[in-house]
Chains A and B, each alone.
Chain A
Amino acid sequence: MIEVIPEPMGDIETVKAKDSAERNNNRIPERGSAVKIQVRDFSFFYGDHQALRNINLEIKRNQLFTIMGPSGSGKTTFLRAINRLGDLIPNTRHKGSIRIDGVDVYDSGIDITELRRNAGMVFALPVPLPMSIFDNVAYGLRMQGTRNRKKLEEIVEKALQDAILWDEVKDRLSDNASRLSGGQLQRLSIARVLALEPEIILLDEPTSGLDPISTFKIEELLWKLIDRYTVIMVTHNPLQAARIDSDTAFFLTGEVVETGSAYDIFTRPKDKRTEDYVSGKFG
């Protein structure tokens, strides 16, 4: 279990230092070695419009992977292709493959609800379902068929603690979730996903509507999550990608322009377009 840091403020470097100390504990020996998600020549179309062009990526297990790029670069489309949420839009099609642990998510034998539970998604705009805080977090489990109240309570508490929200809401779990602030709502969205114990967490610009302090709390949370999850985060903000400093892919007009560590991308960009983006010439 991830411990709750009582004092959420502190600079990112210390958080990361602490985190890498944990990494050296060998708690998860396969971290960073095995490939969790493998994307091969993946293209995605909305009708005649091609939103993604021959994407090739490898994302390792228990890795934090950042996808950055300007609006319209296909980042969100890519994220929604992984859990097949893009299917909900009529007249869409794809080419190529996205494999999670070697299994193509577009395979006809895939149980889509199972896939979506396993690759949980957090949206740019934190939307509370029209129900209580507790019911929001328990939602996915209930849809899966879990009815046992005691078990639900246990999992909800743990998910809220892992999302660093428990202390703020433990006394008002039956309040309507819409009463939470934006930053709390986004952590609620994360708790909602954690409750399902997924292997992968997909975050679509999770901090775009948040103030700096809430943003910091979420970013800090990301580094804790990779103890147990493979985390992919999309951002349009190069500063955020630099701050998070994980392996990064730069998307532009539906293509992957460059991949590498954020450090390399920001200090030694190989492509002129990457250089323009990270130096703030567009975006």
Chain B
Amino acid sequence: MTDRRITLLFAGITSLTLLTLVFIIGYVMINGLPGLTLEFLIESPREMGRAGGVLPAIVGTVLLTAIALIIAAPVGILTAVYLTEYTRDSWLPRIVRFGTESLAGIPSIIFGLFGFLFFVIYLDLGWSILSGALTLSVMILPTIVRTSEEAIRAVPDAYREVSFALGSTRWQTVTTVVLPSAKPGIATGIMLAMGRAIGETAAVIFTAGSSLRLPRSLLDPTRTLPVHFYILAREGISLENAYRTASVLILLILAINIAAYTIMDRLAKKEG
């Protein structure tokens, strides 16, 4: 085949991928956006979600995801630093890597079950934002460790050598040279992990519950946007509101992504 034909073939396959994506998002948006009003965003649901809005679910989703990231990101990044900078070429990173890869492949409902048994019942945190966030943090931890590790490994050894040769300690080298260089890769990993956490349903029903009320503390139960439209659709309460909720979730993810990349761009430019 000529290069031209191969280019066309690849372009065709790529547009297929793109079309699927556009179709799914478009379908949800066409069904969800028309009825999407400001009231829907700032009101609490009434009649089990048949009427009213989704404010508590937005709050629940944001809180759950944010807390999960606040717990998992530092732990994950420090684990990656330990594995790459402190235990190179030993058996430990290999075992941890095998463990994290296995964990990444486990269905989320297993994490839900674990979270239910451990956080909700054993630690007696009940169905709560805290239980849900802890469960999600366990779930996304492997993603963060793995991507951070890749990003840190990609930092040229020459940087480390220069830093050591100028009399810095290993920790100084990590904080002043390695992590700043690995920052874009680590940030991408955290965004991926956030995407996984924000759309999670199964693990959240088990651990954060499905309360419709606006949470007053981290020990209150809550309902996230995916759980909300799952219940709306499955129990036949309101398909229209299910689509609206789904559109809100997509817009929320879009907004967070745009915000994150804008911030990263600004930071990168500032450092020139």
Interface residues of A (CB under 8 A from B): 83, 85, 88, 90, 113-114, 116-117, 120-121, 123, 125, 127, 129-132, 139-140, 142-144, 175-176, 189, 192-193, 196
Contacts and interface: CB of A to CB of B under 8 A. Distances in A.
Interface of B: 88-89, 156, 158-169, 172, 176-177, 180-181, 271-272
- What 3 A-B pairs are tightest by C-beta distance, nearest first? A117-B167, A140-B166, A143-B168
Given A123-B161, A143-B172, A176-B272, A130 B167 contact: no
B158 A192 contact: no
B92 to A, nearest CB: 13
Contacts of A130: 159, 177, 180-181
Nearest to A119: B165
Interface centre among B88, B160, B166, B271 (most CB of A within 10 A): B166
Nearest to B168: A143
Given A90-B89, A123-B162, A127-B159, A196 B167 contact: yes
B176 A143 contact: yes
A125 B158 CA distance: 9
B166 A193 contact: yes
A90 B87 CA distance: 10
Given A90-B89, A175-B272, A117 B166 contact: yes
B167 A143 contact: yes
Contacts of B158: 123, 125, 127
A36 to B, nearest CB: 19
A83 B165 contact: yes
B168 A120 contact: no
Nearest to B90: A90
A129 B177 contact: yes
Given A130-B180, A143-B176, A192 B166 contact: yes
Contact of B163 (A120, A129, A189): A129
Contacts of A131: 180, 271
9 contacts: A85-B164, A116-B166, A117-B167, A120-B166, A123-B161, A129-B159, A129-B177, A130-B177, A140-B166
Contact of B271 (A114, A123, A176): A176
A233 to B, nearest CB: 15
A5 to B, nearest CB: 27
A16 B156 CA distance: 38
A243 to B, nearest CB: 26
B167 A140 contact: yes
Q: Is the interface of B mostly helix, strand, loop or mixed?
A: helix
B271 A85 contact: no
Contact of A196 (B160, B166, B176, B180): B166
Nearest to A117: B167
A132 B162 CA distance: 15
Contacts of B165: 83, 85, 116, 120-121, 123
Contact of A90 (B88, B156, B176): B88
A52 B24 CA distance: 64
A114 B161 contact: no
A139 B181 contact: no
Contacts of B271: 131, 176
Contacts of A142: 176
A85 B170 CA distance: 12
Contacts of A144: 167
A121 B164 CA distance: 10
A139 B180 CA distance: 14
Nearest to B170: A88
Contacts of A129: 159, 162-163, 177
Nearest to B158: A127
Given A127-B156, A130-B177, A175-B272, A113 B161 contact: no
B181 to A, nearest CB: 5
A114 B166 CA distance: 9
Contacts of B166: 116-117, 120, 139-140, 143, 192-193, 196
Nearest to B89: A90
A116 B167 contact: yes
Contacts of B164: 85, 88, 116
A52 B162 CA distance: 23
Nearest to A193: B166
Nearest to A202: B165
B161 A88 contact: yes
A113 B181 contact: no
Nearest to B177: A129
Contacts of B156: 127
Contacts of A192: 162, 166
Contacts of A114: 167
B154 to A, nearest CB: 13
Contacts of B172: 143
